């Protein structure tokens, strides 16, 4: 599904051979485009951004680092304009940053109708080329796997 969403990272991946490990907790990071950082860093953090380096995304829930470079530069959750889904368990945090799906919205839909159409709705928007994951989502890529995971987890919780 991500082929419809977000530009490919293949150029960035092939241009840098550093092993993307978060300097805070050692989590393997995912490459993230510079446009993602430029879009989501607060102004004071953006002033520190090095546009000539590659950055990785740390998805570890227990680590405050969101982005890191091979030189050891880090940006934490306090350096972003938005909360990071992977690092914040609150119900109102976005799972889908482009179309406003949060854990709470998914739970409410499941409570009301017994099923969630979030994945289908988001997929329709992606196919229509409406998403902007590279500038809206802190992970810099499509949210569908996160949404699927939240739907599955919420269905399991409601079944108990």
What pLDDT digit, counting tens, does each position of 32-74 carry?
Answer: 999 999 999 999 999 999 999 999 999 999 999 999 999 999 9
Give the residue range(s) of CATH 2.20.25.270 domains in the chain.
8-79
Reported as half-sphere exposure (CB side, CA atoms, 13 A), residue 158 has a value of 19
**Which tokens is 67 given?**
């982005």
Q: May I ask the CATH class of domain 85-159?
A: mainly alpha
Apex CA 85: angle with CA 57 and CA 53, to 5°? 20
Give the residue range(s) of CATH 1.10.10 domains in the chain.
85-159
Q: Is the CATH number of domain 8-79 3.40.190.10?
A: no
Q: What is the pLDDT of residues 74-104, one digit of tens each?
A: 999 999 999 999 999 999 999 999 999 999 9
């Amino acid at each position: 599904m991500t082929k419809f969403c977000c530009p490919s990272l293949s150029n960035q991946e092939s241009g840098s051979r550093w092993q993307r490990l978060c300097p805070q907790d050692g989590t393997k990071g995912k490459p993230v485009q510079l446009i993602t950082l430029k879009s989501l860093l607060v102004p004071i953090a953006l002033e520190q951004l090095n546009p000539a380096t590659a950055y990785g995304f740390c998805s570890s829930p227990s680590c405050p680092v969101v982005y890191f470079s091979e030189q050891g530069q880090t940006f934490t959750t306090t350096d972003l304009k938005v909360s990071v889904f992977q690092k914040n368990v609150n119900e109102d945090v976005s799972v889908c940053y482009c179309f406003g799906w949060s854990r709470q919205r998914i739970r409410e839909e499941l409570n009301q109708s017994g099923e969630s159409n979030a994945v289908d709705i988001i997929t329709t928007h992606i196919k229509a080329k409406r998403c902007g994951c590279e500038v809206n989502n802190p992970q810099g890529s499509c949210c569908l796997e996160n949404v699927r995971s939240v739907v599955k987890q919420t269905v399991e919780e409601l079944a108990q």
